[in-house]
Amino acid sequence: MKLDDTIDSLRQGKHIPEETVYSLCLKSQELLMNEANVTHVDTPVTICGDIHGQLHDLLTLFDKSGGIEKNRYIFLGDFVDRGFYSLESFLLLLCYKLRYPDRITMIRGNHETRQITKVYGFYDEIVRKYGNSNVWRYCCEVFDYLSLGAIINDRIFCVHGGLSPDVTTINQIRSIDRKQEVPHEGAMCDLLWSDPDDVDTWSLSPRGAGFLFGRNEVEQFLHKNKFELIARAHQLVMEGYKEMFDGGLVTVWSAPNYCYRCGNVAAVLRVEDDLDRNYMIFEAVQAQDGVGNAIIPTKKPQMDYFL
């Protein structure tokens, strides 16, 4: 009951008390702990890419794709940073997870770390909204418990970034103690940071973390694990999604008009029982007053100032 109230408040972008956030985070930890590093998910399911704090576009996403009440979702990470509603977006997904545990799978993105959120907006957002960084700490603790990937019907591998030279089988991912800040190298880092590219073999990534991988790596991985598709996010696609390597890999991007200025559309991928892929495209919400998506984001200082 109380959870439903919180969900309502979050959908309206209202302030959530620190204690509520804390208890949400603690409960989420308990739930997430029981999940595997790579979770198994059944069809039909809707795969969603980066959200980046665009709460109102996230609400559109749910509206247009049927809603959490009747559908299953996998989120490929990057819930926070960049947008003005990182906290609300992340908490809303956590609340849905608590409310409908089997309907939503949350995978960790490269932005779900202490180091990155300190630079790209989530930390500042929390300090602005609460006057201190405690809520940020609670959320970061939850980040550490998020899964690293998911597998749909034993056929589709979902991950935020991409492949790793250290990972050829799923059991190798299983042997990671994932409850930690994302390291700067190694399998866990690569899964969250790598990008597909037109390269012959593993190559250095311009991002400074993870690798670039090409058709060969994708085909080997798919063959070895008897998969048919790698679904990932992590890179802005102006058209919302982009298939590569003869449909062996897809990038799904779910933050329309990214950073409120990129002008891109967003997409989610619905996978049916027969593994048919349907892409749903959607555009950014027009900002309006009165529905929580005000012109002025909640980027206001909350307290009196002396300086």
Partner 1 sequence: MNGSTHDEMRETEPKRVKVYILENNEWKDTGTGFCVGRISSNDQESSKRSDKCSNLAAYLMVNDEEAPDRVLLWSRLEGNIEYQRQEETLIVWKDLTGQDIALSFEESTGCDALCEFIIQVQKSMETYISLVAVRSNDDGMGSVHEIITGPVNLPSNEHQQDEKTLMEALKILNENTAFEYLRNETMEFVLKSDYINTLIAVFEAAEHNHLHRDLLLLSNIIKTLTLYNQRELLEQMVDDEHVLGVVGILEYDTEFPTSKANHREYLQHSGPNFKEVIPLQSEEMKSIIKKTYRLQFLKDVVLVRFLDDHSFNLISDVILDLQTCIIDFVQTDAFLSRLMEIYTGQNKDHEQEKKRDGIRMLHQCVQITKNLEPVEKSKFFKALVRKGLFNVFDFAFNVEKDSSIRILATDMVITIIEHDILLINTVNNELRHQNEVLDEEQQHASQQKTDIVRSSMSSDVSLLLILSKILLTDKSLGLKEQIVQALNTLLHPEGCMGGDSNYDGGNMDIIMNFYGDGKGGDNKISGEISNDNLSFQMAEYFGNFYKEVAPILFEPLLGDSICESNDDILLIYLVKLISFIATEHNRRISREFILEKGILTKMAKLMDPSHIMQLRLTVLRCLKNIICLNDEYYHRYMMSKNLYDPMFHLLRENLNKDNLANSSMLDFFRIISSQCSQTEEMSAHEKNNFMIMNRFLVKKYGYLLQQVDYVPYTKEMIRLSEEHKEAVAAADEDVKMGLADGTQSHIKDGKRTFSEAQESSESTSSGTYSSSSGGASSSGGEESLTFKRAMDKISAVSPPTSIAEDVLRESQNSDNADT
The DSSP call for residue 188 is H
Stretch of 33-41, 209-217, 237-245, 247-255 contacting partner 1, by CB under 8 A: 33-41
Amino acid, res. 233: A
Whether 111 sits among the annotated catalytic residues: the reply is: yes
Task: Give the nearer residue to partner 1 in terms of CB position, either 140 or 269.
Answer: 140
Cα within 13 Å of Cα(75), Cβ side: 28
Shortest distance, position 126 Cβ to partner 1, whole Å = 11
Contact by Cβ (8 Å): 120, 81: yes
What would the x/- binding string for partner 1 be over residues 262 to 301, using CB under 8 A? ------------------------xxxx----xxxx-xxx
User: In this structure, is the dihedral angle defined by the CA atoms of residues 197, 176, 109 and 5, taken in order, positive or negative?
Assistant: positive
Tell which one of 7, 36, 199, 265 touches partner 1 (CB under 8 A).
Answer: 36
Q: Does 175 bind partner 1 (CB under 8 A)?
A: yes
29 CB neighbour count, 10 Å cutoff: 15
Amino acid, res. 76: L
Q: With CB under 8 A, what is the number of residues at the site for partner 1?
A: 45
Token representation of residue 69: 């009440």
User: In this structure, is the dihedral angle defined by the CA atoms of residues 118, 121, 123 and 128, taken in order, positive or negative?
Assistant: positive
118 CB neighbour count, 10 Å cutoff: 15
Selection from 28, 226, 198, 171 nearest residue 108 by Cα: 28
Task: Give the nearer residue to partner 1 in terms of CB position, either 18 or 228.
Answer: 18
Determine the angle formed by the axes of helices 86-99 and 18-33, rounding to 10 degrees: 50
Burial group, residue 304, by CB count within 10 angstroms (0-12, 13-18, 19+): exposed
Shortest distance, position 9 Cβ to partner 1, whole Å = 20
How big is the chain by its Cα radius of gyration, in Å?
A: 18
Tell which one of 102, 198, 206, 303 touches partner 1 (CB under 8 A).
Answer: 303
What would the x/- binding string for partner 1 be over residues 127 to 166, using CB under 8 A? -x---xxxx-xx------x---------------------
Stretch of 105-113, 177-185, 217-225, 247-255 contacting partner 1, by CB under 8 A: 177-185
* Pairing mode of beta strands 104-106, 73-75: parallel
Task: Give the nearer residue to partner 1 in terms of CB position, either 75 or 84.
Answer: 84
Distance, CA of 146 to CA of 152 (rounded, Å) = 17
Task: Give the nearer residue to partner 1 in terms of CB position, either 204 or 294.
Answer: 294
Q: Active site residue: 56, 111, 160, 234, which one?
A: 111
Q: Does 1 bind partner 1 (CB under 8 A)?
A: no
Shortest distance, position 41 Cβ to partner 1, whole Å = 13
Tell which one of 34, 102, 226, 274 touches partner 1 (CB under 8 A).
Answer: 34
> Rule CB under 8 A: which of 209-248 touch partner 1?
none
Contact by Cβ (8 Å): 302, 129: yes
Task: Give the nearer residue to partner 1 in terms of CB position, either 29 or 71.
Answer: 29
User: Which chain residues interact with partner 1 by CB under 8 A?
Assistant: 18, 22, 29-30, 32-37, 84, 128, 132-135, 137-138, 145, 171, 174-179, 260-261, 286-289, 294-297, 299-307
Q: Which residues are catalytic?
A: 111
